[in-house]
Amino acid sequence: MTKAVSPLGEAWGQFLRNKPAVAGLALLIVIVGFVLYGHFLFNADPYRIVWGPLTAPGEREGIPLGTDFLGRDIFVLLLKGGGPTMAVGLSAALLTVVIGIAMGALAGYFGGWVDDLLMRLTEFFQVLPALLFAMVLVTLFAPSLVTISFAIGIVSWPGTARLTRAEFLRIRELEYVTAARSIGAGNSRIIWKVILPNALPPLIVSAALTVGVAILFEAGLSFLGLGDPNTISWGQMIGQNRNFLLEAWWPVAIPGLAIFFTVFAVSLVGDGLNDAFNPKLRSR
Amino acid sequence: MSPLMSLSDLRVEFDTRHGRVTALSGISLDVMPGETLGIVGESGCGKSITALAMMGLIPNPPGHVTGGVIEFDGEDITRASNRRLRQLRGRDIAMIFQEPMTSLNPVFTVGDQIAEAILLHQDMSRAEADRQVIELLETVGIPEPEARAKSYPHQLSGGMRQRVMIAMAISCRPKLLIADEPTTALDVTVQAQIFDLMRDIQAKFGVAIVLITHDMGAIAEMTDRVAVMYAGRVIEQGTSDQILDTPLHPYTRGLIGCIPVLGRAAASTDRLPPLAEIPGVVPPLHLLGDGCAFAERCALADDHCRAVRPPLDDKGHPVACHHAGEIA
């Protein structure tokens, strides 16, 4: 007999056949490896001034990517700034997914007034201009990695909530939900153990893409000077050097490229997951 | 002997776009311990709602039980708490569904799902539950139960899946098994196997079965007693022999006339159509008037039928027809 393959295992097999997605995953592994190395193993003070300000890449040996407007080594800043950037991306995405799934699941499963209430709340957060609202939150609570992640999570969950709700509305009508009820399963078991596992594929995709969006969001806030002043992040590097853009492109372009490649890799992986979970889209 | 499951004058209503419609208007049914009761009728006559009502699973909203009593083992389950209902479901009353393709959760192995049903009601370790799963799969005639327990639903055939559903349903030795058109989605040879299995299980565990179907052949083969439903009412009730041999309601006769008989087509092309049919369809529930709901489609119907709804009277066995037993 054939070996039992779980639906997740099958999707993984499908994912591995998708070349852009695998390339994205490889790129992501390289970037994450670089960031982890910089955060945990690489010992150098990123704030140390190593040479004159705005030294071009390759101009001087030992400073491969040049220096920023204060003369700090961009390569070292890049290594040290990746960790906070990714931490914000991941924790904001996690918060988005947790709030979004909780709201969407309850609204979609119970319907009625619960649905009305939660959806009005979702709409309230959805119509607020996300960046402005995040800026208000960050300035209110003093910028730190935690408040920034929190602010990004708070402005991004409505999309996940709507997606979750739609999935729950569809799945709760299926016969295996009635069947689960007929063996005596209660509401919480049906929500978390019967419906949610079946609703996960689109949510995994959306969570992956949210990581990319959150990293961009953090960069945006830092660019506007609302990043955590005590922590180096890629977005902050861009923000601090933007006044010198006309004299030196590299202190802005290099962290910009780092963000670009990270988000690009995450999107490729997210798209690959989407194709892997949606066999119907595969042929297109 | 007192009935195991007893519905008396059960009314179920649904809120729809057309206002509130009555899906079940005063159903009374008894299921005795260990017997098989058949419920027959066309789509939309209230069979499945009756089944869901027996499990306390009428979707609310939009459904409401607006009257009557559902007694299981002497306990009125229309008044039972949700907690009590969850205890009863699966442990004392179990159900198998029409579509074995969609009634199993696609993301878990069948072994996991059966173990889940066991662990919901019985206090035992996961390892013990897994052992029971293998035993149950063996009981329902699944070859290589150890390997099959690790399969996902989509890796099994329709018949296998229905066997898995039956294994799950009997996992806690329920007293009542409700089978809602359990073979409709299966092909004929598999149907016969599933019926055989249900009979075996009844003999082994003494479970009472409510078999909901629109297949008179299944009725003849499986049931002790039969209730015929039409537009939310029981219109004829009796032992299977009474219903099949001396049907009194024109609708029941029509249903029996619809049973295809091998060879009849060739022998009787001049006199009878090869397959009989009952003209028309079950009227929409929101358009039901005061008279007999079947009057529109009935050859015997007169003005009296259209004006006055016939009560369920004993005319040999209970039947709701002013013209019971007359030949069209």
pLDDT at B111: 92
Q: What is the value of pTM for the model shown?
A: 0.82
SS3 content of chain A, % helix, strand, coil (to 5): 75, 0, 25
Q: For residue A12, tell me if it sits in a domain.
A: no
Q: For residue A22, tell me if it sits in a domain.
A: no
A-chain residues within 8 Å CB-CB of B102?
174-176
Domain coverage including residue A195: 35-279
A-chain residues within 8 Å CB-CB of B97?
175, 178-179, 182
Query: Is the pLDDT confidence value at A268 over 80?
Result: yes
Interface A-B, measured as beta-carbon pairs within 8 A, has a size of: 80
| N residues, chain A | 284
Residue B208 DSSP SS3 = strand
A-chain residues within 8 Å CB-CB of B86?
184-186
Closest CA to A171 of A204, A205, A201, A194: A194
**Residue B21: CA count within 13 A, CB half-sphere:** 16
B-chain residues within 8 Å CB-CB of A8?
107
Q: Pick from A4, A194, A198: which is nearest to B152 by CB?
A: A4
Q: What is the mean pLDDT of residues A13-27?
A: 91
Query: Is the pLDDT confidence value at A67 over 70?
Result: yes
Distance CA B10, CA B23 (A): 10
Query: Is the pLDDT confidence value at A260 over 80?
Result: yes
Percent of chain B whose pLDDT exceeds 70: 95
Closest CA to A257 of A82, A88, A92: A82
B-chain residues within 8 Å CB-CB of A112?
61
Q: What is the pLDDT of residues A129-161, one digit of tens each?
A: 888 888 888 888 888 889 989 989 999 999 999
Distance CA B109, CA B149 (A): 7
Q: Pick from B90, B102, B151: which is nearest to A183 by CB?
A: B90
Q: What is the pLDDT of residues B286-318, one digit of tens each?
A: 777 777 888 778 877 788 887 778 888 787 888
Cβ contact, residue pair A179, B95, below 8 Å: yes
Q: For residue A124, tell me if it sits in a domain.
A: yes
What ipTM did this prediction achieve?
0.82
Main-chain phi, psi angles of B71, to 5 degrees: -105, 125
Cβ contact, residue pair A183, B61, below 8 Å: no
Q: What is the pLDDT of residues A36-58, one digit of tens each?
A: 988 888 888 888 888 888 888 88
Q: For residue A16, tell me if it sits in a domain.
A: no
Structure-model confidence comparison of residues B176 and B60, the more confident one: B176
Q: What is the pLDDT of residues B180-213, one digit of tens each?
A: 888 887 888 888 888 889 999 899 888 999 999 8
Can you tell me which residue has the tokens 């509401």? A187
Distances (CA, A) of B199 to B202, B209, B221, B223: 5, 9, 10, 10
pLDDT at A138: 86
Tokens, residue B284: 């929409």
Among the ranges given (A81-90, B86-95, B280-289), the one the predictor scored with the smallest mean pLDDT: B280-289
The total domain count for chain A is: 1
CATH of residue A127: 1.10.3720.10
Q: For residue A65, tell me if it sits in a domain.
A: yes
pLDDT at A4: 60
Sheet strand arrangement including B225-230 = B93-96, B176-180, B208-213, B36-40, B225-230, B233-239, B318-319, B313-314
Q: For residue A23, tell me if it sits in a domain.
A: no
Dihedral over alpha carbons A208, A209, A211, A217 (to 10 degrees): -170
The b/e string for B237-248 (b: 16+ C-beta within 10 A; e otherwise) is bbebebbbeebb
Structure-model confidence comparison of residues B264 and A151, the more confident one: A151
Q: For residue A28, tell me if it sits in a domain.
A: no
Band of residue B266 on the pLDDT scale cut at 50, 70, 90: low
Query: Is the pLDDT confidence value at B267 over 60?
Result: no
pLDDT at B139: 87
Q: For residue A284, tell me if it sits in a domain.
A: no
Q: What is the pLDDT of residues A105-136, one digit of tens each?
A: 999 999 889 999 999 999 999 888 888 888 88
Band of residue B270 on the pLDDT scale cut at 50, 70, 90: low
Check residue A168 and give left, alpha or beta (phi > 0: left; psi -120 to 50: alpha).
alpha
Cβ contact, residue pair A175, B57, below 8 Å: no
Cβ contact, residue pair A183, B99, below 8 Å: no
Cβ contact, residue pair B89, A181, below 8 Å: yes
pLDDT at B271: 54
pLDDT at B274: 60
Dihedral over alpha carbons A246, A248, A252, A257 (to 10 degrees): 110
Find all residues with CB under 8 Å of B11, minimum gap 6, and list them. B22, B24, B25, B26, B65, B66, B67, B68
Cβ contact, residue pair A2, B155, below 8 Å: yes
Q: Pick from B94, B104, B144: which is nearest to A182 by CB?
A: B94
